[in-house]
């Protein structure tokens, strides 16, 4: 019966093209929406994921990683008092304005850290050595910021909130959720910088700690909560989750992406369902003949599902290839796409299932088809 | 008794109450091997309903249908396709060929359905097509064939898998006189050379000359038997 499915499917090329267009549309829309969402969530959590810390201490009731509030850095002593802690350090996240060559300015996210500890940022380094950041007013910036701030040349001098910084290194592909360029500098520079915006000089945005045994992170976090009642204490997973949920649920942004992806699936499924159903209706006489000649319902279901499945696979492959071809262009426009084998596989299963479900009405029609009809027409 | 198919007092009723229609009323018939049985009658007399029941496509409301000694009228619904596959070949008034398949593929489709040896499908299907004089038309699609050619492909398809009974519903109705005679000649050959029992439902007087027996149906009842 698969043989018949293939012969019939490719005999009616016009109908096949319409079906494929529906599936390609569905694939492109669904994958790009989900890949954009995952890309943005990847950006929102990239620093959290990359810093090899098991515990994160933040100001009380922070909404997400990007909206950090300062708190006294001396509280790091309480973290260090926990025997399970291998090392700990302070981190600053603040915002500033980078003056541009054309006289304008661009808001940037500033990450201040101690290059001598295990806070291994930035990563994907194109040029420079992060350890040199501690030597003065030096900064790293991400190459992808060029679209926003102009050409980035090593050893060029940039003005950041009226302070002059030398660009000594470039990273590649480190983006923030807000799309603001990320500037890395030493903890001390970031802290002195922070005082310009009214903060006290001995404040930090986060304390991070690496444990001797990662599996104890939940217990240590609970213990630290009893010591640091004026702070929130998270495991790495918890703060990532909180950040993702903030952007996804509290801002409604995630729901927007989700609804568009679902819309893509529904529209694609409707097109496939409609063409498969129209195809079934057009071939009722043939299906009736098949039944009269001794085919079982299951034989005819195989034909319908095989045609739908083949269309789904072909349409999905075509849609995926289109996305991969367009990927560079989309990312150059500043949109982050998270595309992985897992995502392609998961979406394939969803789209295949959608297509097969859309064939349900055709199957129902065939199930009730009376083979006597072949004598009546 | 060499009957391959028997109808024992079968009745088919459609609808209930005021809408009740008796399409076939207490008909008993038997079909012998190699026999050509012609069923004639006016429109609405129940010929097609009777043929459908003979081919195990439609169940009788009452009575028994016996195929090759086995009562099939009361077997489970899901068993009927296997009975049809094993015992019957069908020829339809409108040919009912698959437009997306070539003549050879239309025949091989039924062989596939009947789990024919896959290595011999094409050869056997082509052999049947050639038998009906369509050797050069085997790779043509139905849309590119004449009515007579289509009906000959349908005859080849009916013969695929070698069923003992061929049921033909108005096989000459859509054909011109000459082509109709040609198709009837093939049906006669099937009966004599391939030893098939053949039931033909037809209005066409030409068919009468080749039938071994004629049954006239009127208001669902058999009126005359030769």
Closest chain B residue to A294 measured between Cα atoms? B81
Per-position DSSP letters for A223-239, written without gaps between them: HHHHH-TTEEEEEHHHH
- Interchain CB distance below 8 Å, B84 and A294: yes
Within 8 A of A296 by CB-CB distance, chain B residues are 78, 81
Within 8 A of A374 by CB-CB distance, chain B residues are 90, 92, 96
CB B47 within 8 A of CB B40: yes
pLDDT for B124-183, tens place per residue?
899 989 888 888 888 999 999 998 899 889 989 988 888 999 999 888 887 788 888 888
Q: Which of B58, B84, B100 shows the shortest C-beta gap to A12? A: B100
Burial A123-155 (b: 16+ CB within 10 A, else e): eeeeebebeebbeebbbbbbbbbeebbbebeee
Q: What is the DSSP letter of A121?
A: -
For the residues B206-215, what does the mean pLDDT come to? 88
Element (H, E) at A89: strand A85-99
Closest chain B residue to A6 measured between Cα atoms? B100
Whether the predicted pLDDT of B60 surpasses 50: yes
Q: What is the DSSP letter of B140?
A: -
Residue with tokens 């002195």: A192
Residues in chain A: 377
Q: How far is B109 from chain A (nearest CA, A)?
A: 8
Within 8 A of B94 by CB-CB distance, chain A residues are 377
For the residues B64-91, what does the mean pLDDT come to? 90
A255-269, B96-110, B197-211: least confident range: A255-269
pLDDT of residue A371: 84
Substitution target from A12, A15, A292, A298 for chain B, most B beta carbons within 10 A = A292
For the entire predicted model, the pTM comes to 0.77
Tokens representing residue B79 in the block: 């068993």
Half-sphere exposure of A249 (CA within 13 A, CB side): 8
pLDDT of residue B132: 83
Element (H, E) at A342: helix A341-358
- Interchain CB distance below 8 Å, B57 and A377: no
β-strands A163-171, A138-142 pairing? parallel
Whether the predicted pLDDT of B204 surpasses 90: no
Q: What are phi and psi of A291, to 5 degrees?
A: -65, -45
Substitution target from B53, B58, B97, B109 for chain A, most A beta carbons within 10 A = B109
Residue with tokens 């998961």: A346
**CA proximity to A5, closest of B196, B142, B76, B105:** B105
Q: What is the DSSP letter of A250?
A: I
Residue with tokens 């896959």: B118
Q: Which of A11, A296, A374 shows the shortest C-beta gap to B92? A: A374
pLDDT of residue A376: 65
Q: Which of B58, B98, B114 shows the shortest C-beta gap to A372? A: B58
- Ordered per-residue pLDDT tens for chain A, 377 residues: 788 989 888 888 888 898 888 889 888 988 888 899 889 899 999 999 999 899 999 999 998 898 888 999 999 999 999 999 999 999 999 989 999 988 899 999 999 999 887 688 899 999 999 999 988 899 999 998 888 899 999 999 999 988 899 999 999 989 888 888 999 999 989 988 777 667 777 899 999 999 999 999 999 999 999 999 999 999 999 999 999 999 888 888 878 888 888 888 788 778 877 877 888 888 888 888 999 888 998 999 999 899 889 998 999 999 999 999 999 998 888 788 899 999 999 989 988 888 888 888 888 888 888 888 877 65
- Interchain CB distance below 8 Å, A375 and B92: yes
Whether the predicted pLDDT of B226 surpasses 50: no
Q: What are phi and psi of B128, to 5 degrees?
A: -65, -40
Closest chain A residue to B171 measured between Cα atoms? A375
Tokens representing residue A91 in the block: 């981190």
Confidence of residue B224 (pLDDT cuts 50, 70, 90): low
Q: Which of A286, A292, A374 shows the shortest C-beta gap to B98? A: A286
Within 8 A of B86 by CB-CB distance, chain A residues are 294
In angstroms, the CA A328 to CA B94 distance is 56
Within 8 A of A285 by CB-CB distance, chain B residues are 96
Residues in chain B: 226
Global ipTM = 0.87
Q: Which of A11, A286, A371 shows the shortest C-beta gap to B57? A: A371
Q: What are phi and psi of B119, to 5 degrees?
A: -70, -20
Adjacency order of strands within the sheet including B3-14: B21-32, B3-14, B62-67, B70-71
């Amino acid at each position: 019966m698969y043989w018949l499915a293939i012969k019939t499917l490719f005999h009616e090329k016009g109908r096949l093209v319409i079906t494929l267009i529906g599936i390609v549309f569905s694939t492109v829309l669904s994958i790009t929406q989900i890949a954009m969402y995952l890309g943005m969530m990847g950006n929102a959590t990239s620093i959290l994921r990359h810093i090899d810390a098991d515990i994160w201490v933040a100001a009380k009731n922070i909404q997400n990683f990007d909206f950090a509030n300062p708190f006294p850095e001396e509280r790091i002593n309480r973290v260090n008092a926990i025997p399970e802690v291998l090392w700990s350090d302070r981190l600053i996240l603040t915002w500033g304005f980078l003056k541009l060559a054309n006289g304008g300015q661009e808001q940037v996210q500033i990450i201040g850290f101690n290059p001598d500890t295990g806070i291994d940022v930035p990563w994907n380094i194109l040029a420079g050595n992060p350890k040199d950041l501690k030597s003065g007013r030096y900064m790293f910036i991400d190459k992808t910021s060029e679209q926003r701030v102009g050409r980035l040349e090593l050893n060029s001098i940039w003005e950041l909130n009226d302070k002059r910084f030398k660009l000594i290194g470039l990273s590649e592909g480190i983006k923030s959720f807000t799309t603001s360029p990320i500037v890395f500098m030493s903890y001390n520079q970031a802290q002195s910088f922070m005082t310009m915006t009214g903060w006290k000089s001995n404040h930090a945005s986060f304390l991070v700690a690496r444990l001797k045994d990662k599996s104890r992170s939940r217990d240590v976090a609970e213990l630290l909560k009893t010591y640091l009642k004026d702070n929130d204490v998270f495991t790495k997973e918890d703060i990532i989750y909180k950040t993702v949920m903030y952007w996804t649920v509290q801002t409604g942004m995630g729901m927007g992406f989700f609804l568009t992806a679902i819309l893509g699936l529904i529209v694609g499924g409707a097109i496939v369902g409609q063409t498969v159903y129209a195809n079934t209706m057009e071939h009722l006489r043939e299906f009736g003949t098949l039944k009269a000649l001794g085919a079982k319902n299951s034989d005819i279901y195989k034909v319908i599902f095989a045609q739908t499945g083949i269309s789904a696979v072909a349409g999905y492959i075509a849609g995926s290839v289109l996305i991969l071809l367009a990927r560079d262009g989309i990312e150059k426009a500043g949109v982050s796409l998270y595309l992985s084998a897992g995502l392609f596989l998961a979406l394939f299963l969803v789209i295949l299932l959608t297509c097969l479900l859309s064939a349900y009405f055709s199957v129902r029609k065939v199930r009730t088809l009376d083979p006597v009809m072949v004598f009546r027409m | 008794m060499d009957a391959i198919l028997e109808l024992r007092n079968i009745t088919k009723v459609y609808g209930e109450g005021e809408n009740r229609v008796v399409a076939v009323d207490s008909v008993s018939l038997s079909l012998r091997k190699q026999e050509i049985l012609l069923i004639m009658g006016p429109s609405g007399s129940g010929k097609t309903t009777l043929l459908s029941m003979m081919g195990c496509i439609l169940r009788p409301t009452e009575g028994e249908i016996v195929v090759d000694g086995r009562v099939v009228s009361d077997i489970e619904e899901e068993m009927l396709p296997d009975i049809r596959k094993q015992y019957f070949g069908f020829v339809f008034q409108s040919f009912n060929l698959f437009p997306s398949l070539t003549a050879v593929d239309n025949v091989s489709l039924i062989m596939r359905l009947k789990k024919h040896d896959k290595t011999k499908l094409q050869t056997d299907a082509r052999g049947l097509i050639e038998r009906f004089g369509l050797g050069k038309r085997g790779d043509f699609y139905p849309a590119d064939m004449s009515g007579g050619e289509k009906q000959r492909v349908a005859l080849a398809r009916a013969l695929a898998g070698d069923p003992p009974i061929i049921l033909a519903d108005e096989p000459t109705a859509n054909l011109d006189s000459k082509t109709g005679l040609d198709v009837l000649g093939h049906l006669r050959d099937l009966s004599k050379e391939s030893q098939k029992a053949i039931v033909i439902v037809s209005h066409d007087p030409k068919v009468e000359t080749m039938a071994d027996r004629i049954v006239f149906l009127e208001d669902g009842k058999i009126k005359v038997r030769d």
